[in-house]
Each structure stands twice: as C-alpha cells, then as structure tokens.
Amino acid sequence: MGKKEINGLSQSILESISTQILEVSKNIDEDIQKAAELLINHSGKIVVCGLGKSGLIGQKIVATLCSTGTRSVYMHAAEAIHGDLGIYNPGDPTILISKSGNTEEIVRLIPILKEFKSPLIAIVGNLDSFIAKNSDIVLNGTIEKEIDPLGVVPTTSSLVALAIGDALASVLMVQRGFDKEDFARNHPGGELGKQLALKVESIMHPVEHIAQIDLNDSISSCATKMTEKPFGVALHLENGKLNGILTEGDLRKSIASNADLSSSISNFINNNPISINPTTSILDAMKIMEDRHSQISCLPVIDSDGKCLGLLTLHDLYQTKLV
C-alpha cells in the first residue's frame, strides 16, 4: 500500500469509531440506568465475564469499577466451569460481554448462573442472540462495522463495549456520591491519587521563609528582601493577615517606571491577590494556577480566619508531580 493510500486513513478510522459510538449512545441511556439501579442495590460484588478480546475489555471494566467504588471481579468464561465459579455468592450480578451474543462458553454458563440467582446484564452486539434473550438487562452494543481493513477484527465492537462499561461505571459513581477523596483513597500509589490526596499545606513554604514588606519600604529595600528570600514574591502582612503581594514582575515595573529606588513601593503592591486554602488538593491548586489566560507562579496560602500561612509556587507543584 502506497503512502497516498494511507494518507488520512487513521483519521477516517477514528471518525468512523466515534460516529458508531455516538449512534450506540442514542439508544442506551435508559438501559444503563436500569443496570446501574440493579447494581447499586446489590451489597455484594459484581462479576464480569468474557472471552478473548471481550475478556480483555471485561478486565478493564472491572478495574474501572473497582477504582470507582464498585466491588468487582473478572471471571474468564472458559475457566468458570473449572473452579472459578467458586467466587460467587448467591445473587451476585454478572455482566456478560460478547459481540456475537452466542459465545459458546458463556452460553453454557447461563443456566448455572441462573441457579446462583445471579441477575444477568449483557453487553452484546446482537439483540437476537441467545445471551441477549436470556439476560435480565441488555446493553445494546450493536455496531455497523468493524473498522479494520478486513472488517472482522474486534475493533469498533471492543471500543463500544468498553465505552458502555465506562458509562455504567460513571453512572454508578454519581449514584454512590463517589468523589475525589474516595478516588484518592483507592489510588494512594498513583500519580492522580497523589495529586488528589496531597494538600497545599503539605508542600507550601512557611510564611516566615517568605520576604515580608511594609508600605513604607523603598523599592531598593524590597529588592534586597526578595534577594535574601528568593521565592519571587514578597508579602505585605498586618497582624498575620495578607494585605497584598509584590512579585518580581511588579518590582521590575517599579524600576522600569524610572522611579527613585529610594521611593516607596506602595504603588506597585497588588492589594487584591488571588490566594488558596491550605486544605485544597494540589490537583485543584494546579488548575487554579494554570487554567487561566496568564499563569500564576505563586499563591499565598490563607486559612479560614484570613491568616497567611505561607506560599505555594508552581515549581513546587511540578516537583511534586515528578516525585
């Protein structure tokens, strides 16, 4: 295949996938709600079962469910009748994943699962299949076509099943009231979990380490103080409360204005600075500092009583992410 023949091919493939996922989404919301209702009212675990590519998708769905507050385990369809059925407690719901809806190993399991009184939720690509007709809730993953050149490799169908699983997990998160703190507890070793669990107070610089200035300080004396404590900012405090800040940029402006270096710095102090609470997560702190037209490199840390506790720098956040 020549270069001209593959130009734009990946784009058209991704567009086809997204279009087909969009079509699936139009008719599945109510069924996902029913499935979520069934699962949220079950106090035990969820069993997800599949084979081949569908099994790999099932493993990922289990990982997502577990990390977002829904206890789940994966059961290989072929291994189930060789001892893995021992994971069941009576009434444990089962999510069955099969593109054809007629996967032999899963079909053989259905009568056994019914004996366990296991409610069955099927993610299938064929509504006329045995699995679909024998499940309590069917999540329709029917697609128009696979997007590989042969049209037979589980590509689009796998992504659709994965998307349905993610949608179900997300609905369950909302129903459980699962929040950032819950996520952090489930991911103490992960990068995102660390960013959610760590608070500003754990990485901020104490206020005594930051240059402090008075309104009657001269431009020159401010420069000296900021050189001795080089955090790129000086704080104007009164009785421990923040009245304003002076950044290195403000200091440069004062010098560029041709002002006498012995003159007061008061006209260049920002009296309405953005600040942050010490209990804010470092992830939220990073959003506050980065998600704006002009990034903020330093944030004063203020408690609920208005007392200035210290300073958080963007450099600290980047360093924390790298640890």
Note whether 204 and 166 are same-domain residues.
no
pLDDT digits (tens, 9 = 90+) for 227-271: 999 888 999 998 899 888 988 888 888 888 766 788 888 888 888
Please provide the average confidence, as pLDDT, over all residues in the chain: 87
Strand ranges of the sheet holding 298-302, from the earlier edge strand across to the other edge:
205-206, 308-313, 298-302
Euclidean distance between CA atoms 323 and 321, whole angstroms: 6
318 vs 104, more confident: 104
Note whether 172 and 28 are same-domain residues.
yes
Q: 29-38, 45-54, 79-88, 196-205: which has the minimum mean pLDDT?
A: 196-205
- The CATH number given to whatever domain includes residue 96 is 3.40.50.10490
Note whether 272 and 211 are same-domain residues.
yes
Note whether 19 and 137 are same-domain residues.
yes
According to the model, what pLDDT value does residue 262 have? 82
Q: Is the per-residue pLDDT at 318 higher than 80?
A: no
According to the model, what pLDDT value does residue 286 have? 83
- The CATH number given to whatever domain includes residue 254 is 3.10.580.10
Note whether 222 and 110 are same-domain residues.
no
Note whether 223 and 315 are same-domain residues.
yes
Euclidean distance between CA atoms 300 and 308, whole angstroms: 7
Residue 248 lies in a domain: yes
Note whether 220 and 258 are same-domain residues.
yes
Q: Is the per-residue pLDDT at 288 higher than 90?
A: no
Residue 190 lies in a domain: no
Note whether 205 and 172 are same-domain residues.
no
Residue 189 lies in a domain: no
Note whether 91 and 137 are same-domain residues.
yes
Note whether 149 and 39 are same-domain residues.
yes
Residue 188 lies in a domain: no
pLDDT digits (tens, 9 = 90+) for 18-42: 999 999 999 999 999 999 999 999 9
Which of the given ranges, 7-16, 136-145, 222-231, has the highest pLDDT on average? Answer: 136-145
Q: What is the mean pLDDT of residues 178-202?
A: 65
Residue 195 lies in a domain: no
Residue 22 lies in a domain: yes
Number of domains in the chain: 2
Euclidean distance between CA atoms 218 and 246, whole angstroms: 12
Note whether 171 and 206 are same-domain residues.
no
Query: Residues 6 or more apart from 251 whose CB is under 8 A from it?
Result: 219, 222, 223, 226, 265, 268
Note whether 206 and 264 are same-domain residues.
yes
120, 143, 178 — which closes off a domain?
178
Residue 280 lies in a domain: yes
Q: Which domain holds residue 154?
A: 3-178
Q: What is the mean pLDDT of residues 136-161?
A: 92
Residue 162 lies in a domain: yes
